[in-house]
Structure 1
Amino acid sequence: MIKTGLNLLPFATSKLLAAAALLDAPYARSIFDRIHTPNLFNYNTVLRAYSIAPNPAVQEALPLFKSVKAQGIPLDQFSFISTLKICARCLALETGRQLHGSILRSGFQLYLTVRNILIHFYCACGGLTGAHQLFDEMPQRRDAVSWSALIGGYLQISQPGKVMGLFREMHVSGYDINAASIVSALSASSDACGRGGGLLHGYCMKVGLCSDLNVATAIVTMYARTGCMGAARQVFDVIPRRDLVLYNCMVDGYAKGGLVDESLALVHQMKYEGVRPDAATFVGLLSACASSGGLAIGRHIHEHVQEERLELDATLGTAFVDMYSKCGCLDKATEIFDRMRDRDVKAWTSMILGFGVNGRTAAALQLFYEMEEKGVKPNEVTFLVVLSACSHGGLVEAGKELFERMVQEYGLSPRMEHYGCMVDLLGRAGLLDEAYELIKSLPLKEDAVAWRALLAACKIHGNIELGEMAQQALVPLCDEQLTGSILLSSTYALAGRWVDVARMRDLEGEKMMDKKEPGCSIIEIGG
């Protein structure tokens, strides 16, 4: 489009923006930023992209929403709907309340879709009082979505009595409690293993809705999402006709629970029943293998993928790269990475991480620069991975440069993990004073990650004075106090200050010994 000049045509640009919005919000935003005079459709398209993105960012969407108002472009209901969806997913209660005020002032509360999304927003953020008030104000203008949103809200806070009361009220009011209503309510339930989820399941059995494949899948998904795999399997086993979506839900649920053998057995069963696996079937399994170091099972999964002739797309390819890297097969991970046609930022980040965790710091750094040359923009996770590699490889200057570029060149805001990495980088190199100054400059002073990194560095370099300061900073952070005491005690021991070692142990008493859980290692034989 750029070569032919089509990017200058508003219609063509809007079409491209709409297509990009379905795939990648940052890419859609980059297209939007090149539009000289964006219209409301363009703004709404990007807002919708943020609302459906895997990681919606209210801090990016809200300024965009405000800029529409600042430019005098009349808003419509879709502007509010997308922005409220983002607030709901980010649990941005105060921001959503401000939007609610704007809706009332602009008169869009008359739209049923806007009222429904407001109910959903308040339910998602725990504001059930506000949600129910909105619901009560629209007795003549409710639909199944209104009921399902409120029912889902009460399910989230484990109030099964309210849920069943709403179902009865819904039935009395003449609304059909159909499969769609049940699926919507089940999808919102986070109380699967409690009374709420079981109550919904029982209701479905009572009215005969469990025979509906969509309802059955929603029940299995509800149980699997919260780790109730026994209940999920009971439902799964009595479903006469099982499709790919249902199988994938069970396979992924077992994998996330660490039950890799059960997950793999289901893959064999689905193939026996004539259900062909897809890429999504294996992604969760590969993640479980990566976490447990199950190389033999990972290779077995690879054989399944080759048998099905599945393409190594960005998601599946990245899962293989991650699995082989974490299992120590870096050559195999590199081979798969090089074969991937579509390598997004997650794929590059996974390969950089693979080099880093296997001690190949220089290769990790080189791959990062290659990623930039290919035009792939690194994100916060990429920088965290490459900074960690620099820290473990002792590349102080490279780490400093990357940290500065992260902020200045890419406009990314460092999180506490990034600061912790930088403190670790400086501390390992013996630059303890510089690490301490960095901690003092942090926006959030009570950062346990950074203080623990500094204390660990003090232990390595025997800086008792600074180590004591770090340990004192950790004292108010109760969860991290024990680790800090152990590190400081070790620092005293290295300096031969046994009286101080005894003092630290006396201060902690039995608390230190009781809370220090034993570690464990996994060794795979014959893998």
Structure 2
Amino acid sequence: MIFKLRNPFKPSKLDRISMLVSKVTALLNLSLTIKQVNQLHALILVNGLNHLEPIIITKIINTRSNHSEASIRYLKSLVHHSKYPNVATQTSFVQFLYQHGEFQDAVREYARVHRSGMLPCSSTIVSAIQACTRLRNRISGIMIHGHVHGYGLCGDVHVGTALVGFYSKINDVETEQKVFDEMSERNAASHVIDEFLESGNSIMAEQLFSVMGYKDVACCNSMVSWYTKKGDMEKAIATFGPMLVKTSPSWTAMITGYVDSGNMEIARNFYDVMPEQDVVSCMKMIDGYSKNGAVESAREIFNEMDEKGHSLYDAMITCYAQNDRLKDALQLFDEMIQSNVNIRPDNKTLATIISICTQWGNLSFGLWIHETLMKQMGITMDDELGTALIELYAKCGRVDKAYGLFCGLQKKDVGVYTTMILACSRNGWKYDAVKLFEEMLEANICPNLVTFSGLLTALNHVGWTEAGYPRSFKS
């Protein structure tokens, strides 16, 4: 009898499969596109590694890239035909469907989970209830409510909140009140109040807040912020006043409410008695004074802050710009970048300063920012900054520099096209103006009256006014 010995240097089939599983698992832990996940799935099927399909499903569900209709269909097929279903993938799939607007399928998938005997988590039930709410599916919603009792989740605050929202949507006030009364953890349910407010259900939020025993800071801040956003300063102060602990967000919410309602005097009173002024409240005061033209009061607030960061300088520069104090804005910007202050401006700040240069016709300062300061500070051009520079160069007759920046923009809108067409028309680049207009139409960007004004100027220079525009207007 002849024995055939295995080559010790050649890996066995089991070893090869083990190595493949390790490699596939490692790859699935990387950040992948849907296409790359599909390729790994094909590799799994070819090698009979079907037990890895749940990992594939989880990976697709957790992929942050936009899911097309095709990828969602693929995922549905994968879930329904998987030979190794498990509760984690099945229940997370319900949440995935709800989050992507597949409400009907989310309800159906929840029903499949329930029929299979799997025990869904509370977040899955919440997604199913919310899907019924969006569909106004009374029967399915009530059915799921029945399952909630069976799962022992009646006291879950998230499930209860979802059920309250469902019964509110289908106008079943009696059941809504009953579910609300049964909810546990109401004395520590600031997140529930937030959910009510975010969904626009302020009545339930107020009712819950009123019956709470101990009202923590988070709950109070949520209600104060809600009232100030709605402009109901009477309820805001009634909630703010009894608060035992008032944090910076509490004070800032009140200041914001009075600023937005136009009552700067009361806002200033709150700001002055605030235990510790912060950047957010200071910026809000500057913005309020700016809208009221009280630039000196804004500067007084600015000067009082000991530590001034980029955002505070930006707010004050914007205040000067909005009130035509262009020289003051440039002086403050100069102070900002001096070595004793040394605050690095961002692209938004530079765009504001360059817009001021455009208003003032100060080409030299704009050129210095573009060609010197940006290089020194390593600031990369973006569309907002590029557009501001294009407007400056166009106004000052430097069409060559404007055109170069224009070509580098990632996104071009009607405003920047119009700026370039006008600049080209006024500075002898007539054929380029016509070419830009053609390009604009090909990009399906609708011109406005100013665009046509610039185009007609160019057409007049090339002698096409009487004959009419030979291509685009006749097509």
The interval holding the TM-score normalised by the smaller chain is: 0.5 to 0.7
Query: Which position in structure 2 is the counterpart of 1:206?
Result: 178
Alignment of 1:264-279 (within 5 A): 264-271=233-240, 273=242, 278-279=247-248
**Contact 2:354–2:388 under 8 Å retained in 1:** yes
Identity %, equivalent residues: 16
**Contact 2:424–2:432 under 8 Å retained in 1:** yes
Asked if 1:488 corresponds to 2:460, the answer is no
The Cα of 1:339 is off from its aligned counterpart by 1.9
Alignment of 1:437-456 (within 5 A): 437-444=404-411, 446-455=412-421
Asked if 1:179 corresponds to 2:149, the answer is no
Asked if 1:302 corresponds to 2:268, the answer is yes
Structure 1: distance between partners of 2:245 and 2:147 = 43
**Contact 1:455–1:487 under 8 Å retained in 2:** no
Asked if 1:158 corresponds to 2:123, the answer is no
Give the aligned residue type for 2:210: P
Asked if 1:143 corresponds to 2:110, the answer is no
**Contact 2:387–2:416 under 8 Å retained in 1:** yes
**Contact 2:223–2:236 under 8 Å retained in 1:** no
Report Cα offsets for 1:239-260 as digits up to 9, x if no partner.
525755455445544554xx54
The Cα of 1:487 is off from its aligned counterpart by 0.9
Alignment of 1:218-229 (within 5 A): 221-222=194-195, 224-225=197-198, 228=200
TM-score, normalising length from structure 2? Answer: 0.60
Q: How many aligned residue pairs are there?
A: 389
Asked if 1:388 corresponds to 2:355, the answer is yes
The Cα of 1:392 is off from its aligned counterpart by 2.9
Inter-CA distance 387–146: structure 2 relative to 1 (3 Å threshold): farther
Structure 2: distance between partners of 1:416 and 1:298 = 36
Query: Which position in structure 2 is the counterpart of 1:44?
Result: none
Instruction: Find 1:436's aligned residue among 388, 403, 409.
Output: 403
Asked if 1:314 corresponds to 2:292, the answer is no
Report Cα offsets for 1:318-368 as digits up to 9, x if no partner.
211222223322222222122223434322322222232233344434444
Structure 2: distance between partners of 1:442 and 1:158 = 41
Asked if 1:240 corresponds to 2:218, the answer is no
Asked if 1:354 corresponds to 2:322, the answer is no
Alignment of 1:398-409 (within 5 A): 398-403=365-370
Inter-CA distance 168–211: structure 2 relative to 1 (3 Å threshold): closer
Query: Per the alignment, in what secondary structure is the counterpart of residue 93 of structure 1?
Result: coil
Structure with greater Cα Rg: 2
The Cα of 1:313 is off from its aligned counterpart by 0.8
**Contact 2:228–2:257 under 8 Å retained in 1:** yes
Structure 1: distance between partners of 2:168 and 2:387 = 40
**Contact 1:219–1:232 under 8 Å retained in 2:** no
Query: Which position in structure 2 is the counterpart of 1:3?
Result: none
Query: Which position in structure 2 is the counterpart of 1:70?
Result: none
Structure 2: distance between partners of 1:165 and 1:406 = 66
**Contact 1:455–1:470 under 8 Å retained in 2:** yes
The Cα of 1:169 is off from its aligned counterpart by 3.6
Structure 1: distance between partners of 2:182 and 2:134 = 22
TM-score, normalising length from structure 1? Answer: 0.55
Query: Per the alignment, in what secondary structure is the counterpart of residue 240 of structure 1?
Result: helix
Inter-CA distance 241–177: structure 2 relative to 1 (3 Å threshold): closer
Asked if 1:339 corresponds to 2:300, the answer is no
Which residues of structure 2 form unaligned runs of 5+? 1-31, 33-54, 76-83
Structure 2: distance between partners of 1:115 and 1:365 = 60
Inter-CA distance 200–400: structure 2 relative to 1 (3 Å threshold): farther
